[in-house]
Amino acid sequence: MIAKLFKFKGGVKPDSHKDVSAAAPIRVAPLPSHLIIPLRQSARAMARCLVQPGQTVLKGEMIAAAEGPLCTAVHAPTSGTVRAIAPQPVPHPSGLPAPSIIIDPDGLERWIERRPFDYRCVPAQETRNYLRDCGVVGLGGAGFPSHVKLGPGEKGIETLILNGAECEPWITCDDRLMRERADGILAGASIMRHIAGARRILVGIEDNKPQAIASMRAAVQRLGEADIEVVAVPTRYPAGGEKQLIRVLTGIEIPFGKLGTHFGVQCFNVGSAHAVFRAIAHGEPLISRVLTLSGNMAHPGNFEALIGTPIRELLPLAEPRTDTDRYLMGGPMMGVALLSLDTPVIKGTNCILAGSPALFPPPPPEMPCIRCGECAKVCPAELQPFELYWFSRARIFGKAQEYSLFDCIECGCCSYVCPSRIPLVDYFRFAKGEIWAREKEKAAADIARERYELRLAREEREKAEKAAKLAA
């Protein structure tokens, strides 16, 4: 048993709105008219396309291969024909289109040959490569490749944490997944424990999900393995933030720039564990996920959708109301507004939230900061957001970095409570963007200067050689 839970400072308690979508079981979304699969599925790196337009593909067939250490493979979510490989709108804050494979389904759902992977008989590295080739990434939102996180790191992993906190309001896909597929999740976690060589597994679930907790505890009993514990953590946003959950369960605080492995702990979303289970036990690559459709909708619920399904084709399942004025991908605290409904579901899509002026009213005009300090009280990174705000606004980026700007996890708590209605997180995103741009510029200038100096040195040397030749 866990002796005690730790606390993270700050946090807020927004209305959860989870009941509206949590009641009904997960439904399978129908096959869409076409699928748009971005080549960049794992946040950091783009996969190498393996198919040509006109080529027929099977369900689960690899259509793009992993290249580079942070890349994962991409698969055809159903059988059909490759229509094109072209830039398409993707759910990214930049709004820039990204290279994607467009597939027209044939409706036959013809699978590739699926074979379980015997992870017990091969070295862990081989299993990690297999997961990479199955396209398994974190399903919590950030989409970080799971095979990388399962690597040994410096110290190895002692504690494996499953993140079932699901702290964002409205979202219930992990809740439903834990209620309905607890055995699969735990089987996946057990496999991950084997790969990582971890000793224990802690499953953290916010205590506003009693059914999910009960379901997972029952599954632990059925699995019968030692050192697995399901822990109810206090409901307080952002308890599901990776660093916050690790802090609550283990007391370890992971600073900016460090990974869990530095401290012998690693954290995975429950959906990712389930994806690992499907890949290993059934030979199925990651081609679908459960997501929540909620907000201003007549029939909110959870749906299992193929990766690449255009959002437009999903929405009728939950029937958005007529006064819907926008759609968010993710929750109201950290979600991204969709610029186009042709955007596809990607691996990190946990929720599509319909917004209306009544539900998410436009913020009242920004007032000056009165330094009331409410933002500092709720900041889970324990920053002084109002100080960062002054520096960001005044473009004093050096000072902003000195005050730990990059430790900000952009959870939105500060903006949420600010009585002056200052969009603090917007200022921090702006400051980070400017700093990155400057660093890139500086790096480019450094390279140019180096080249110039090399050329000068070469010309100098050639001149000297010439002079020496002439003298000789």
Tokens of 311: 């959002």
Q: Specify the residue, 216 or 418, whose C-beta has the smaller distance to other proteins.
A: 418
Helices 182-196 and 173-180, interaxial angle, to 10°?
90
Q: For other proteins, which residue of 114, 222, 258, 442 counts as binding (CB under 8 A)?
A: 258
Query: By CB under 8 A, what part of segment 170-209 binds other proteins?
Result: none
Q: Specify the residue, 288 or 349, whose C-beta has the smaller distance to other proteins.
A: 349
Q: For other proteins, which residue of 142, 419, 460, 466 counts as binding (CB under 8 A)?
A: 419
Within 13 A of 102's CA, how many CA atoms are on the CB side?
16
Distance CA 445, CA 439 (A): 10
The number of residues that bind other proteins (CB under 8 A) is: 66
> Minimum Å distance from CB 382 to other proteins?
4
Q: Specify the residue, 402 or 453, whose C-beta has the smaller distance to other proteins.
A: 402
Q: Specify the residue, 253 or 342, whose C-beta has the smaller distance to other proteins.
A: 253
Residue 263 binds other proteins (CB under 8 A) = yes
Q: Specify the residue, 86 or 370, whose C-beta has the smaller distance to other proteins.
A: 370
Query: By CB under 8 A, what part of segment 323-342 binds other proteins?
Result: 328, 330, 332-337
Q: Specify the residue, 54 or 93, whose C-beta has the smaller distance to other proteins.
A: 93
- In 3D space, the residue among 296, 277, 288, 409 whose CA is nearest the CA of residue 349 turns out to be 288
- Residues 152-171: x where in contact with other proteins by CB under 8 A, - otherwise, as a string: -----------------x--
Q: Specify the residue, 92 or 194, whose C-beta has the smaller distance to other proteins.
A: 92
Asked, as a colleague might, if the bond just before 238 is cis with ω within 30 of 0, I would say yes
Residue 140 binds other proteins (CB under 8 A) = no
C-alpha distances (whole Å) from 263 to each of 196, 202, 246 are 14, 15, 10
Binding piece for other proteins, criterion CB under 8 A, among 55-63, 123-131, 135-143, 407-415:
407-415
Distance CA 450, CA 437 (A): 20
Distance CA 332, CA 32 (A): 27
- In 3D space, the residue among 2, 91, 80, 112 whose CA is nearest the CA of residue 38 turns out to be 91
> Minimum Å distance from CB 171 to other proteins?
13
User: At CA 208, angle to CA 204 and CA 213, rounded to 5?
Assistant: 50
Q: Phi-psi category of 427—alpha, beta or left, where left has phi over 0 and alpha has psi -120 to 50? A: alpha
Distance CA 62, CA 309 (A): 17
> Minimum Å distance from CB 163 to other proteins?
18
> Minimum Å distance from CB 201 to other proteins?
20
Residue 417 binds other proteins (CB under 8 A) = yes
- Residues 360-389: x where in contact with other proteins by CB under 8 A, - otherwise, as a string: x--xxx-xxxxxxxx-xx--xxxxx-xx--
DSSP 151-175: S-TTT--SEEEEE----STT--HHH
The β-bridge relationship of strands 62-65 and 48-49 is antiparallel
Distance CA 220, CA 258 (A): 31
Binding piece for other proteins, criterion CB under 8 A, among 50-58, 133-141, 208-216, 402-410:
402-410
- In 3D space, the residue among 406, 331, 415, 335 whose CA is nearest the CA of residue 379 turns out to be 415
Q: For other proteins, which residue of 272, 292, 309, 420 counts as binding (CB under 8 A)?
A: 420
Binding piece for other proteins, criterion CB under 8 A, among 41-49, 124-132, 404-412, 461-469:
404-412
Q: For other proteins, which residue of 219, 278, 355, 391 counts as binding (CB under 8 A)?
A: 355
Q: How many C-beta atoms surround the C-beta of residue 110 within 10 A?
A: 15
Binding piece for other proteins, criterion CB under 8 A, among 69-77, 119-127, 304-312, 400-408:
400-408
**CB contact at 8 A, 305 and 287:** no
**CB contact at 8 A, 137 and 286:** yes
Q: Specify the residue, 137 or 328, whose C-beta has the smaller distance to other proteins.
A: 328
Tokens of 114: 């699926």
**Interface contacts to other proteins, rule CB under 8 A:** 8-9, 12, 14, 93, 95, 169, 243, 247, 251-256, 258, 262-264, 328, 330, 332-337, 355, 359-360, 363-365, 367-374, 376-377, 380-384, 386-387, 403-404, 407, 410, 412, 415-421, 423, 425-426, 429
